[in-house]
Structure 1
Amino acid sequence: MKINCQVKKLLGASLLVVLAGCSVAENSTSAQSTANSSPNSPLISDNEVAVAEGFSTRTVLQGLERPWGMAWLPDGSILITERPGKLRIVRNGKLDLEPIPGVPEVFAVNQGGLMDISLHPDFEQNRLVYFTYSQGTNQANHTRVARATFDGTSLQNWSDIFEVTPTKSDGQHFGSRIVWLPDSTMLVAFGDGGNPPIRFNGEYIRNQAQNLGSHLGSVVRINDDGSIPQDNPFVNDSNADPAIWSYGHRNIQGMTIEPTTNRVWSHEHGSRGGDELNLMEVGQNYGWPKVSYSDEYTGGRVAEISSRPDVPEPKVVWTPSIAPSGLAFYSSDRFSGWQGDLFVGGLVSRDVRRIDLDGEGNVLGEESIPIGQRVRDVRQSPDGGLYVLTDEQNGSLISIEPE
């Protein structure tokens, strides 16, 4: 594969090549650099990236069934969701044998089930825990946002506070991740409903990502009780759903916020190549499926164009796909040189990608932290550690540690 790109940074002994605005030709394995790319072009990653140095991995525990999300309690325990519909707790590094009661039945089919988990910013006072999960039947299902109180042993007062409309068929593309903004409103990401041939109202359901009247393929902003903030970008648009914060997304399974700048990052799956890392902007259309770097699974391009002036360019495009899931912004100094960077889990690449950022949010390069299993989530712990959940029938909690 012949690659024309721009060299931006050296990290230790590893050369990080920024493939910004790269042109790629098949059947070559060499990489050459030029200085003719646009600074606004995405890094085009072909997955031939250097392996990071200065870390080791440790398996904390095994025995999780398709784990999806995790959240730390103030006492250091970890709540972990399992996609079949169970909530588990890890105390002092050991997994409790019995799941925490109080989770209702979920639609655990294909990609659906119990997904993300997040604590309310004032958890120590109100004990509120938030979840995303899929509910319904194979003919009519959707993602819901719910909250419950956790008393240390069980969930109480489970209530659904938001649900995606319209409902869809099949078991694909539910999303979803939760991020809290500084004003204690929450962003929640939802998938576009699925791949062709799944249809809605006579067309491919993925086109709903361009419909401001639909939650499919969008990020919504809601209050902690599910109500709609009155300063949302489309709240005064009679043709739009007032909850929508951004749209034109395919299937976001990673979202995080920088604690100092409050910049919001997300990544989303492409179809066949074209996975994206995006720096999020309120009210923006991210293009899917009208603007995309993806190919159809059946061949040919998804969209006629990969960029458009009114669509923010991705910061990174992965082709072939790494199938990103889980995203963490690292703010600790426990790892020398990693502070201020992003960490992306890869289901297909079976690793964690370190995305080297400068202070302005520009991507300088990419490294791989091999895990050897499908990575579903990656998070920073309160003490500055990096933890990974693996998407396996016998899933693991893995700690990434400095050597």
Structure 2
Amino acid sequence: MDYRSIPLIGLLLSLIISCKPQKDNPPGEVHTPQQVVESEQHRFIIDTLARDLQVPWSIDWLPDGRMLISERNTGQIHLFEPETGFQKALPALPDVYRKGDGGLLDLKVHPDFIQNEWIYLAYSTSRPDSSSTTVVERIRLSGDTLGERERLFTAFPYYRSESHYGCRLLLTDGFLFITIGDRYRRDSAQYLSTHNGKVLRLYEDGSIPADNPFLSEPGAQPEIWSYGHRNPQGMAQHPISQEIWIHEHGPKGGDEINIVRPGRNYGWPLITYGEEYEGGPVGKGLQSQAGMEQPLYYYKPSIAPSDMLFYSGKAFPEWRGDLFIGAMALRHLNRLETQGNEIVHEERLLDGLDRIRSVSEGPEGFLYLGTDSGFLLCIKPARFFW
């Protein structure tokens, strides 16, 4: 946790002691106030809501205040009621490929869910020859029942690889943005003939916008918005500029934050601030090259970034407009202050707590974290300590 707060072991013990298994349990009291954590701008507490999730990859919210959680390792969606702790696991999607980095990945509730009942899912799927790829579907959710499914996108090509699927989704202004990793075929990030190592833009029904930058280029995949990415697993829209920000995993060092703009090349694997895992330069060891974008910010050593969001709530007023990113390798919550398109300050919260996989802002402005150890945590202001 933050270096000025209580010892890490005390926080971990308090989380474990206060946590109660909630899967398929009836409603009941689930939150026990935790010790107060001091950060640079706010004092907060952490409540433990669940501890038995299987890599909660994504969290999003239904209009009625219920939470949807995607479990990477089981291929299931969980309905969770934060106020009561009631949790229900929906039937697993049968065609989810659950190996390596694969499984049920991002989940987004359509902005007009009340009218159309669509939720959007990204997951990995495979063929009989064990090759796999990333797909995006939308499914109708009526009450607690999954209904009509519609395949919107399939990444090309399939690979015999269990790595670097991406994949984050963003729904905005009728568009669907998708991040796809390089599938550990690093050179493919530079090839416009594949979807790998790209950010893609579709309409929300899966059709292709006529103004996509490579639509008329022979051999290019028409969905491509930007390319030269390694493994982008975070995406968020800036609340003022409305531009799309992503982060992506570097190799050994070199995790990047970028603003994705149409037709731009972000350099992987030709330029990077990282190095090979066994040591030594990637390729020619270049960090810049003409015609390729420089990151807004990079991490060395890597933090292994996961989910990300721009905070907009009222519960923590000093954090409004800040960028929050889960960190898996360094096990903390990364807070970044921005001014326009610049990142001007970094604070590492909850240092050493756990591999934070998902980050979400609830309707009341609290922050919700899912961790690889199976915890669902809620960060709320210290005034809720009683």
* TM-score tier after normalising by the smaller chain length: 0.7 to 0.9
CA deviation after TM superposition for structure 1 residue 398, in Å: 1.1
Confirm whether residue 330 of structure 1 aligns to residue 311 of structure 2: yes
Which one has a larger percent helix, Structure 1 or Structure 2? 2
Unaligned runs of 5+ in 1: 1-12, 14-49, 195-204
SS at match of 1:285: coil
Query: Residues 102 and 154 of structure 1 are in contact (CA less than 8 Å); yes or no, is this contact kept in structure 2?
Result: no
Confirm whether residue 398 of structure 1 aligns to residue 385 of structure 2: no
SS at match of 2:318: coil
Give distance in 2, aligned partners of 1:264 and 1:114.
23
Which one has a larger percent strand, Structure 1 or Structure 2? 1
Farther-moved stretch of structure 1 (250-259 vs 89-98): 89-98
Give distance in 2, aligned partners of 1:165 and 1:158.
21
Per-residue deviation, residues 109-158 of structure 1 (Å, max 9, x unmatched): 01100000001121110000000000005731000001110001111112
Farther-moved stretch of structure 1 (268-277 vs 50-59): 50-59
Q: Which residue of 1 aligns with 2:326?
A: 345
Confirm whether residue 252 of structure 1 aligns to residue 241 of structure 2: no
Confirm whether residue 101 of structure 1 aligns to residue 82 of structure 2: no
Distance 1:387 1:148, change over 3 A: same
Q: Which residue of 1 aligns with 2:7?
A: none
SS at match of 1:208: helix
CA deviation after TM superposition for structure 1 residue 301, in Å: 1.0
Q: Which residue of 2 aligns with 1:216?
A: 196
Give distance in 1, aligned partners of 2:232 and 2:116.
29
Q: Which residue of 2 aligns with 1:8?
A: none
Opposite residue 106 of structure 1, the aligned amino acid is: V
Confirm whether residue 169 of structure 1 aligns to residue 149 of structure 2: no
Query: Residues 336 and 344 of structure 2 are in contact (CA less than 8 Å); yes or no, is this contact kept in structure 1?
Result: yes
Confirm whether residue 72 of structure 1 aligns to residue 46 of structure 2: no
Unaligned runs of 5+ in 2: 5-37
CA deviation after TM superposition for structure 1 residue 335, in Å: 1.0
Residue correspondences, number: 341
Opposite residue 380 of structure 1, the aligned amino acid is: E
Q: Which residue of 2 aligns with 1:235?
A: 215
Give distance in 2, aligned partners of 1:124 and 1:143.
28
Query: Residues 132 and 176 of structure 1 are in contact (CA less than 8 Å); yes or no, is this contact kept in structure 2?
Result: yes
CA deviation after TM superposition for structure 1 residue 384, in Å: 1.7
CA deviation after TM superposition for structure 1 residue 159, in Å: 2.3
Q: Which residue of 2 aligns with 1:29?
A: none
CA deviation after TM superposition for structure 1 residue 333, in Å: 3.4
Structure 1 residue corresponding to 2:170, chosen from 179, 187, 190: 179
Structure 2 residue corresponding to 1:289, chosen from 232, 251, 269: 269
Give distance in 1, aligned partners of 2:326 and 2:98.
22
Opposite residue 108 of structure 2, the aligned amino acid is: S
CA deviation after TM superposition for structure 1 residue 298, in Å: 1.9
RMSD value over aligned CA atoms?
A: 1.8
Opposite residue 331 of structure 1, the aligned amino acid is: S
Query: Residues 89 and 95 of structure 1 are in contact (CA less than 8 Å); yes or no, is this contact kept in structure 2?
Result: no
CA deviation after TM superposition for structure 1 residue 95, in Å: 5.0
Opposite residue 62 of structure 1, the aligned amino acid is: R
Query: Residues 228 and 266 of structure 2 are in contact (CA less than 8 Å); yes or no, is this contact kept in structure 1?
Result: yes
Query: Residues 103 and 155 of structure 1 are in contact (CA less than 8 Å); yes or no, is this contact kept in structure 2?
Result: no
Could you tell me the percent identity over the aligned residues?
Answer: 38
